[in-house]
Structure 1
């Protein structure tokens, strides 16, 4: 798994590639928690290059959502492949997260002037 971040105005974007499972989720969790520790309130996770997500990956997304909800922040998920979206739906997480077809639509949904 590889993970990178970028800043689009007031939005922190996390790009993950590969598998997000029990073996790799710790790195993703550390990266996301570091952004939250710095005070981000707008988090976008781009799943374009994620091939697989396990319950460990789902746990990270849920923990991030809960943490952001406590500070009136938000998290958006973009570019989920159909198989990944199905995992979120089966787990009921589609009721908790907003999914976007691409990064640009997700950025626009935050209501900022950020551009991709």
Structure 2
């Protein structure tokens, strides 16, 4: 798994590549938690390069969504491949975390502070 992040306007964009499974979920969760703890309140996860996500990975997404909600932050994902989109849909995460087609769409929906 590879995690890259950058700032676009007032939003932290985190690009995730590879797999989020039992062996990588904690690393992913720690990276996202560190960003939230550092004060990032607007996160978009670009999952175009994510090939696989397990239930352990989904738990980390839920924890991030809850942490941002508690801080009145905003959280979204984008660029889901068919398999990852299917996992989000089947698990009901599509009703918890906003899903957008691309980073630009997610940032536009977030708007300005």
Short-chain TM bin:
over 0.9
The equivalent of 1:33 in structure 2 is 33
Determine the structure 2 residue equivalent to 1:16: 16
The runs of 4+ residues in structure 1 deviating greater than 4 Å are none
Q: How far 1:10 sits from its partner (Å)? A: 1.9
TM-score of the superposed pair, with normalisation by structure 1: 0.93
Distance in 1 (CA, whole Å) between partners of 2:31 and 2:5 is: 8
| 1:1-116 matches, cutoff 5 A | 1-112=1-112
Structure 1 residue runs without a partner (length 5+): none
Q: TM-score, length-normalised on structure 2?
A: 0.95
How much has 1:27 moved relative to structure 2? 1.6
**Alpha-carbon distance in 2 for matches of 1:100, 1:12:** 15
Per mean C-alpha deviation after superposition, the further-off stretch among 10-19 and 104-113 is 104-113
TM-superposed CA distance for 1:112, in Å, is 2.7
* TM-fit CA distance, 1:107: 1.1
The whole-number CA distance in structure 2 between the counterparts of 1:11 and 1:101 is 16
Q: Cα RMSD over matched residues? A: 1.2
